Amino acid sequence: MNDAFMDQVLSFIRANRQRFLDELFTLLRIPSVSTKSEHQEDMQRCAQLLVEEFQNIGMPVVELHQTPGHPIVYGEWLQAPGKPTVLIYGHYDVQPPEPLEEWHSPPFEPTIKNDELFCRGSADNKGQLFIHVKAAEAFLKQRGRLPINVKFLIEGEEEVGGEHLEQFIVENKQKLQCDAALVSDSHMFAKNLPTLVSSLRGIVYLQVDVQGPRQDLHSGCFGGAVQNPANALATVIAKLKDDSGRVLIPGFYDNVRELSATEKSMLASLPFDEEEYRKELGVKALFGESGFGVLTHVAARPTLDVNGILSGYTGEGAKTIIPAKATAKISMRLVPHQDPEEIMAATERFIQQQLPPGVAATVRRFHAGKPYMAPLDSVAMQTATKALRQAFAKEVVYLGEGGSIPVVQSFKEQLGVDTVLMGFGVPDENLHSPNEKFNLGHFYKGIEASALFLEGMAQH
Ligand code: BES
Ligand code: ZN
């Protein structure tokens, strides 16, 4: 395709910004909260809307696959024989909006303020996945064809670590066969600083339930005679990490990969102000495993964190009891080459060993996802670099990400392909928390970058 044609595609994108935004609003208004059964209908509606969206832009094959959980939407355009095939992944499910009282505008009513679009799902991930849909539309409407073969795979269980997508991938390897995957569900290092993600952390998430007496007991009548499950759980949690933040589970660090000299210098070259970061987060001091900088803590070191803890009386005033049980939800973020299964087993063993006498613990397992490392020298990465550089008129940076997108490693293992992680969010966009937002400039430039990427891939 010649430059003049590409100019037309980019002009189409610029001329249709308002309509693209209006269409995104319709998608955002559906409260597709995957974790809550009361939103099951909304999940179906949201998937259906995406099906219609793909049909409207002119995708010849569009399918809605029901699963025992939430549906998967699949669309393909494969009319460029001899050209590469790119698999574009996104998720239409969102995190619950609570706490509602902290939102400045209704969570599912898209609201624009100073060039930012506030709404649950605006950045994570509806706004970002929509970028690629609109880039595809620009080609289809301007020319009636895409520069390369494209497959869209949009799921509804990302935020709950669902297993049905994994199953779908395993069962549809042929259908999903491609040369590279493209995912926009990550961050740019800073506003208007185009970023490609070089690694993602993996995750293990578990729940520990500590059981004590048959029911809550009077803490005076029985205190001292029985083990308190809340104290016991606190004891166990305290033994998981030392004061410097190092995880104490035996074998935890065995397979942790150290950063290469190149990776270290890439991190060091990023424009980062530690004090500003500290203030932004509202903490007294930053904290982390000694011997590493803040960016390394997030990008390349594994962690263990309590995500939630519950036991006994937490209402107003005082109530004197020894609680019958105590629960904690614990996550570990993993880095290459830690194995989630091994870490899970080691953690479970360690928790049982450290448990004080007189109580019993069960460990329930939620999601497990593998970490991912992206090759920086692949054709797709090089093409993405050029596309981003052109769209944002700035040099691209490469960054290890602390978050997890487990499907990316599945693409690697099941389909044999690497993924370009071309995210358009920024870290202050309140993902998973009140007042989630998405930068409109990033939305529009993202569409151009996506179009340039598809066009660039056609050259290979
Ligand atoms: N988009 C995020 C992951 C992310 C955020 C990657 C920022 C890079 C930068 C994704 O939707 C997410 O939240 N993933 C979960 C995965 C988990 C539920 C298995 C996460 O990281 O907690
Ligand atoms: Zn998320």
Q: Where are the domains of the chain?
A: 3-200+371-458, 202-256+302-369
Phi and psi angles of residue 360, each rounded to the nearest 5 degrees, phi first? -120, 145
Atom of ligand 1 nearest to the CA of 331: 22
Residue 298 · residue 202 · CB < 8 Å: no
- The pLDDT of residue 1 is 54
Alpha carbon of 95 to ligand 2 centroid (Å): 7
Residue 64 · residue 48 · CB < 8 Å: yes
Residue nearest to atom 7 of ligand 1 (CA): 186
Residue nearest to atom 17 of ligand 1 (CA): 161
- pTM for the whole thing? 0.94
Atom of ligand 1 nearest to the CA of 201: 21
Which of 165, 185, 201 should be mutated for ligand 1, with most atoms under 8 A from CB? 185
- Going by C-beta distance under 8 Å and a sequence separation of 6 or more, which residues neighbour residue 52? none
Q: Which helix (H) or strand (E) holds 116?
A: strand 116-118
Contact residues of ligand 1, CB 6 A cut-off: 124-125, 158-159, 161, 185-187, 203, 367, 369, 401, 403-406, 431
- State in words which class domain 3-200+371-458 has: alpha beta
- The environment of the single-atom ion ligand 2, i.e. residues with CB closer than 5 A, is 124
- The pLDDT of residue 423 is 98
Q: Which helix (H) or strand (E) holds 208?
A: strand 202-211
Span 202-256+302-369: which CATH code? 3.30.70.360
Atom of ligand 1 nearest to the CA of 421: 8
Residue nearest to atom 19 of ligand 1 (CA): 161
Helices in 121-228 by DSSP H: which ranges? 126-143, 164-171, 173-176
Atom of ligand 1 nearest to the CA of 159: 18
Residue 129 · residue 32 · CB < 8 Å: no
Alpha carbon of 92 to ligand 2 centroid (Å): 10
- The pLDDT of residue 162 is 81
Alpha carbon of 124 to ligand 1 centroid (Å): 8
- The pLDDT of residue 3 is 83
Alpha carbon of 426 to ligand 2 centroid (Å): 13
Alpha carbon of 405 to ligand 1 centroid (Å): 5
Residue 191 · residue 114 · CB < 8 Å: no
Between CA 94 and CA 29 the distance in angstroms is 12
Classify 362 as helix, strand or coil: strand
Alpha carbon of 440 to ligand 1 centroid (Å): 21
Residues in the chain with pLDDT values less than 50:
none
Alpha carbon of 197 to ligand 1 centroid (Å): 13
Instruction: Evaluate the CA torsion angle 28, 33, 39, 40 in order and state its sign.
Output: positive
